[in-house]
């Protein structure tokens, strides 16, 4: 993979491919077998042994604890769709609102449940072969460092998953999100690179893996290039409030543009390594498995790239409206760049009109838009599609993948007018 330049490693897809390749060389050398033999062995199902992930045991422990409270904040049915430890924002509640999602409305995605962590005893460990001075930071020390605020989105890689069922007649694995597993907030914290510098980040460091303090110790690696980016931060505030328990209190990592799970909540440890790092969350899950995707050992499929491009109306699916003129509103977002065009169709894609775009159009966050609709009685289907400054556009369909990630196709939004 020598043609992948270091600066390209900010892009998750390239990063994962490069790392997987290196990993194979390292391990095959260590095991004294050929790389080819190792690939055959992996194809036969040896990956998790090789990665050395203690996931199954942790999963059992987490299940035993599952009768306890899963989410701390109130999540009444008017505000959220309830999937146990996961709560989906109802888009309807975003109409007439400002640019960011209020903390009370922000979606929650917990692999297990929200842990309660005492700020006074919380420590952030930064350690591993990639730092010269391993350290432990207390909350007050972190708060005393220079801070930055950024407006950015966090979106679950499975957002839109339920639409695979409409398209393929079968459900993909996992929470059946509609389009509400995304939120945008103003995050305040310390640049991750400032903390890494304090720990004496080595030039030879390669990967940075934040780890959560939740039951499963959710963790997922990123390249040093992404870790030292301007807007990769250790966030302790969300929309000017201390980070709420469900969103990672006291501190979470914000990794803009990368899939939701990269934004590790309740971070307690950051491993910095001179070697490629792997976890359950980039070998077994958060990968694309399906006939259109090749396995990419040690991952069982193509490791997920960054988030993509989607649009949502600020209206429930199947909402009822009164006949007459309505201002229809919504938001579109792209992880690649600014939204430059949003179109809507009232005739199932036969004809398209331009929606009006509003400022700001932050990337990776979203752009608000609206259009006027003179609604006649009957059953209607509204479609919306967006494009960004780099020419990415929402496709008509998405190839099937077992775990139902990255559904970015145009969706049918049913509306009943009476
Ligand atoms: N420690 C930890 N971090 C985590 C998770 C988790 O379960 N544990 N879930 C991840 C996933 S899959 C997503 S989509 C985002 C959701 O962030 P939110 O709950 O603040 O909306 O957090 C990520 N960070
Ligand atoms: Mo997610």
Each residue's pLDDT expressed in tens, for the chain with a length of 418 residues: 334 455 556 666 566 666 666 666 666 666 656 666 556 555 554 444 444 444 444 444 444 444 458 999 999 999 999 999 999 999 999 998 999 999 999 999 999 999 999 999 999 999 999 999 999 999 999 999 999 999 999 999 999 999 999 999 999 999 999 999 999 999 999 999 999 999 999 999 999 999 999 999 999 999 999 999 999 999 999 999 999 999 999 999 999 999 999 999 999 999 999 999 999 999 899 999 999 998 888 888 888 868 999 999 999 999 999 999 999 999 999 999 999 999 999 999 999 999 999 999 999 999 999 999 999 999 999 999 999 999 999 999 999 999 999 999 999 999 999 9
| Confidence at residue 294, expressed as pLDDT on a 0 to 100 scale | 87
b/e map 318-349, b = 16+ CB within 10 Å: eeebeeeebebbbbbbbbbbbbbbbbbbbeee
Residues 6 or more apart from 79 whose CB is under 8 A from it? 89, 90, 93, 104, 105
| Confidence at residue 403, expressed as pLDDT on a 0 to 100 scale | 96
> Closest by alpha carbon to 23, among 49, 56, 4, 50?
50
Residues 6 or more apart from 281 whose CB is under 8 A from it? 218, 219, 220, 261
Q: Is the CB of 111 under 6 A from ligand 1?
A: yes
Q: Is the CB of 266 under 6 A from ligand 1?
A: yes
Q: How far apart are CA 211 and CA 53, in angstroms?
A: 13
Ordered structural domains, the chain, with CATH:
58-303 (3.90.420.10), 309-417 (2.60.40.650)
β-sheet bridge partners, residue 385? 343
- Ligand 1 atom nearest the C-alpha of 155 is 14
Q: Is the CB of 80 under 6 A from ligand 1?
A: no
- Ligand 1 atom nearest the C-alpha of 183 is 21
What's the gap in Å between 13 CA and the centre of ligand 2? 17
What's the gap in Å between 405 CA and the centre of ligand 2? 9
What's the gap in Å between 265 CA and the centre of ligand 1? 6
- Ligand 1 atom nearest the C-alpha of 217 is 1
Which run of H or of E encompasses 373?
A: strand 366-375
- Ligand 1 atom nearest the C-alpha of 213 is 1
Q: What is the 3-state secondary structure (H, E, C) of 98-161?
A: CCCCCHHHCCEECCCCCCCCCCCCCEEEEECCCECCCEEEEHHHHHHCCCEEEEEEEECCCCCC
Q: Is the CB of 258 under 6 A from ligand 1?
A: no
What ligand is nearest to the CA atom of residue 261? Answer: 1
Q: Is the CB of 263 under 6 A from ligand 1?
A: yes
b/e map 296-307, b = 16+ CB within 10 Å: bbbbbbbbbbbb
Other C-beta atoms closer than 10 Å to the C-beta of 167 total 16
Q: Is the CB of 177 under 6 A from ligand 1?
A: no
> Closest by alpha carbon to 154, among 231, 269, 73, 83?
231
Contact 122, 98 (CB under 8 A): no
| Confidence at residue 54, expressed as pLDDT on a 0 to 100 scale | 40
Contact 367, 330 (CB under 8 A): no
What's the gap in Å between 197 CA and the centre of ligand 2? 29
Burial status of residue 65 (CB atoms within 10 A of its CB: 0-12, 13-18, 19 or more): exposed
The protein residue with its alpha carbon nearest to ligand 1, atom 22, reads 261
| Confidence at residue 37, expressed as pLDDT on a 0 to 100 scale | 57
| Confidence at residue 66, expressed as pLDDT on a 0 to 100 scale | 46
Ligand 1 mutation pick, 86, 88, 109, max ligand atoms within 8 A of CB: 109
Q: Is the CB of 110 under 6 A from ligand 1?
A: yes
| Confidence at residue 65, expressed as pLDDT on a 0 to 100 scale | 47
Q: How far apart are CA 230 and CA 192, in angstroms?
A: 9
What's the gap in Å between 261 CA and the centre of ligand 2? 5
Q: Is the CB of 154 under 6 A from ligand 1?
A: yes
Residue 225, helix vs strand vs coil:
helix
Q: Is the CB of 153 under 6 A from ligand 1?
A: no
Which structure tokens are listed for 241?
């409030």
Q: Is the CB of 312 under 6 A from ligand 1?
A: no
Q: Is the CB of 206 under 6 A from ligand 1?
A: no
CA distances from 301 to 16, 281, 284, 403 (A): 11, 12, 8, 11
| Confidence at residue 307, expressed as pLDDT on a 0 to 100 scale | 93
């Amino acid at each position: 993979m020598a043609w992948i330049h270091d600066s390209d490693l900010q892009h998750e897809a390239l990063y994962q491919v490069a790392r997987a390749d290196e990993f194979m060389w390292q391990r095959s050398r260590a095991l004294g077998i050929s790389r080819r033999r190792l690939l055959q062995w992996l194809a036969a199902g040896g990956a998790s042994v090789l990665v050395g992930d203690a996931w199954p045991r942790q999963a059992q422990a987490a299940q035993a604890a599952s009768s306890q409270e899963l989410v701390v904040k109130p999540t009444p049915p008017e505000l959220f769709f309830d999937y146990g430890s996961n709560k989906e924002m109802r888009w309807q509640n975003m109409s007439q609102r400002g640019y960011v999602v209020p903390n009370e409305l922000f979606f929650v995605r917990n692999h297990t449940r929200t842990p309660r962590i005492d700020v006074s005893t919380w420590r952030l460990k930064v350690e591993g072969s990639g730092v010269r001075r391993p350290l432990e930071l207390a909350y007050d020390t972190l708060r005393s460092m220079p801070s930055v605020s950024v407006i950015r989105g966090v979106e679950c890689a499975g957002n839109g998953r339920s639409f695979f069922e409409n398209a393929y007649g079968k459900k993909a694995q996992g929470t059946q999100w509609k389009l509400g597993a995304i939120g945008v907030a103003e995050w305040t914290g310390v640049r991750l690179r400032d903390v890494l510098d304090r720990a004496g980040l080595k030039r030879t460091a390669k990967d940075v893996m934040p780890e959560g303090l939740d039951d499963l110790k959710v963790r997922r690696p990123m390249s040093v290039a992404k870790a030292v980016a301007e807007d990769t931060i250790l966030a302790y505030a969300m929309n000017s409030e201390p980070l709420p328990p469900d969103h990672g209190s006291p501190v979470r990592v914000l990794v803009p543009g990368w899939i939701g799970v990269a934004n590790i909540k309740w971070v307690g440890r950051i491993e910095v390594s001179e070697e490629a790092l792997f976890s359950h969350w980039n070998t077994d899950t958060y990968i694309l498995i399906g006939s259109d995707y090749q396995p990419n050992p040690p991952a069982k499929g193509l490791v997920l790239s960054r988030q993509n491009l989607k649009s949502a109306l600020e209206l429930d699916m199947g909402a009822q409206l009164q006949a007459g003129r309505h201002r229809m509103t919504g938001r579109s977002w792209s992880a690649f760049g600014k939204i430059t065009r949003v179109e809507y169709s009232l005739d199932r894609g036969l004809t398209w009109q331009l929606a009006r775009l509003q400022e700001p159009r932050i990337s990776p966050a979203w752009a608000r838009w609206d259009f006027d609709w003179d609604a006649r009685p009957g059953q209607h289907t509204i479609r919306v599609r967006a494009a960004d400054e780099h020419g990415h556009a929402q496709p008509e369909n998405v190839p099937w993948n077992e775990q139902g990630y990255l559904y970015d196709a145009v969706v049918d939004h049913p509306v009943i007018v009476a």
